[in-house]
A = this chain, B = another copy of it.
Amino acid sequence: MSAHNLHPLDQAIALTDTAPGRYTAHTHPDYANAVGPFGGVTAALLLNAAIKHPQAQGEPIAQTVHFAAPISDDVMHIDANPVRTNRSTQHWLVQAFQGGQLVAMATAVFALRRETWSATDAIFPGNQPAPESLTPMSWDGRPRFTYCYDLRYISGIVVPQASPTDAQPGNAESLLWVRDEPPRTLDFPALASICDIFFPRILIRRQRRVPMGTVTLTSYFHADSQMLAQIGSAHLLGRARAQIYRNGYFDQSAEVWSAAGQLLATTHQMVYFKE
**A contact residues vs B (CB 8 Å cutoff):** 61-62, 64, 66, 68-69, 83-84, 86, 88-89, 91, 93, 95, 101-103, 105, 107, 109, 111, 113-122, 170-172, 201, 205-206, 215-216, 218, 220, 222, 224, 241-249, 251, 253, 255, 263, 266, 268, 270, 272-275
Contacts and interface: CB of A to CB of B under 8 A. Distances in A.
Contact of A243 (B61, B103, B117, B263): B263
Q: Main SS of chain A's interface residues? A: strand
A178 B270 CA distance: 25
A21 to B, nearest CB: 16
Contacts of A248: 88, 111, 113-114, 116
Given A83-B68, A244-B263, A116 B275 contact: yes
A159 to B, nearest CB: 16
A216 B111 CA distance: 12
A94 B272 CA distance: 22
Contacts of A222: 244, 246, 249, 251
A201 B245 CA distance: 27
A102 B91 contact: yes
Contacts of A69: 84, 86
A215 B216 CA distance: 18
A27 to B, nearest CB: 18
A249 B216 CA distance: 22
A119 B250 CA distance: 9
Contact of A266 (B89, B122, B243): B243
A102 B83 contact: yes
Contacts of A119: 205, 244-245
A232 to B, nearest CB: 20
Contact of A117 (B88, B107, B266, B275): B275
Nearest to A69: B84
